[in-house]
Amino acid sequence: MPVIEICGPGCSRCKTLAERADAAAKSLGLDYTLLKVTEMPQIMARGVMSTPAMVVDGVVKVQGQIPSIEALAALLSGTN
């Protein structure tokens, strides 16, 4: 069960990424958990420097970008 974390202090870009990641995971029919990481030390601990970022099971997949739902689905499709 993949854990998808969206890192960012909570600006509109982070919300957009969270929505798209959610839609992408749903479109794949994944059994997943979506979490938001908003605390700065927590974001840094994941090695993320530019937000918004998507971390899946501890691996940074997206940094400082908002990919399309399809691109996010491609990123998520390897996880189960």
Interface residues toward another protein, by CB under 8 A: 1, 5-6, 8-15, 18-19, 22, 26, 30-52, 57-65, 67-68, 71, 74-75
**Closer residue to another protein (CB): 59 or 80:** 59
Rounded Cα distance between 59 and 57, Å, is 6
- CB 80 → another protein: shortest distance, Å? 14
**Closer residue to another protein (CB): 68 or 80:** 68
Q: What length is written for the chain?
A: 80
Distance of CA 49 to the CA centre of its chain: 14
Rounded Cα distance between 33 and 5, Å, is 8
